[in-house]
């Protein structure tokens, strides 16, 4: 069983970040949490680097600073009828732009569907930070709904929610400190 302890920093009314200490794998940096219509919860994290298969599609663990994650799940309540509470929201297209606040250099990455024994299904990628691990970063997450050719929408869904799963969303977070998570190891 995974035990979690969360610490959040609020300074001058500004949410800086949250570190989750896990008994399973050390730490995860919660960058931000958002809830959008129709009841989707996003949790954006910097997780401990890992070896991901297939290896030809993912940055090697020894070349990685951080495993960037976006968990996309239905909320526990106030969700579309027939939706599994807390279930994974599939077919989204999520990308992240990580910008070094010291140098202005940035990296852009598409997050792909992943599965593990801690978070189950989520979107993620291993990345090398565009600068020192001790620098502060801005992180922008962009969520695009599936294309109309990727998911069939039944009449009842279209009648209540329209011709898409959700709309396009963008969330930006500043002053993200990846140093602790970049130094952590799953071993």
CATH number assigned to the domain comprising residue 120: 2.60.40.2480
pTM metric for this prediction: 0.86
Q: For residue 19, what are the domain limits?
A: 4-183
With contact defined as beta carbons under 8 Å apart, do 46 and 147 qualify? Answer: no
Q: How many domains does the chain have?
A: 1
User: How do 136-144 and 93-100 pair as beta strands?
Assistant: antiparallel
Residue from 173, 139, 180 nearest 7 by CA: 180
Residue at token pair 């140093």? 179
Per-residue pLDDT of the chain (187 residues; tens, 9 = 90+): 333 333 334 333 344 444 444 434 457 899 999 999 999 999 999 999 999 999 999 999 999 999 999 999 999 999 999 999 999 999 999 999 999 999 999 999 999 999 999 889 999 999 999 999 999 999 999 999 999 999 999 999 999 999 999 999 999 999 999 999 999 988 7
């Amino acid at each position: 069983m995974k035990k979690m302890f969360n610490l959040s920093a609020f300074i001058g009314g500004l949410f800086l970040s949250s570190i989750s200490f896990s008994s399973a794998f050390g730490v995860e940096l919660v960058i931000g949490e958002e809830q959008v219509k129709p009841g989707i919860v996003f949790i954006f994290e910097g997780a401990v680097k890992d070896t991901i298969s297939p290896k030809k599609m993912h940055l090697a663990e020894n070349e990685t600073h951080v495993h960037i994650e976006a968990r996309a799940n239905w909320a526990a309540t106030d969700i579309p009828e027939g939706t599994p509470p807390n279930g994974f929201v599939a077919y989204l297209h999520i990308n992240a732009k990580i910008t070094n606040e010291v140098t202005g250099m940035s990296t852009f990455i598409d997050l792909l569907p992943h599965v593990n024994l801690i978070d189950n299904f989520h979107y993620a990628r291993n990345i090398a930070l565009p600068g020192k691990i001790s620098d502060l970063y801005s992180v922008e997450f962009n969520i695009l709904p599936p294309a109309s050719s990727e998911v069939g929408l039944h009449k009842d869904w279209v009648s209540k929610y329209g011709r898409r799963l959700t709309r396009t969303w963008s969330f930006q977070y500043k002053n993200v400190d990846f140093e602790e998570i970049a130094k952590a190891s799953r071993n």
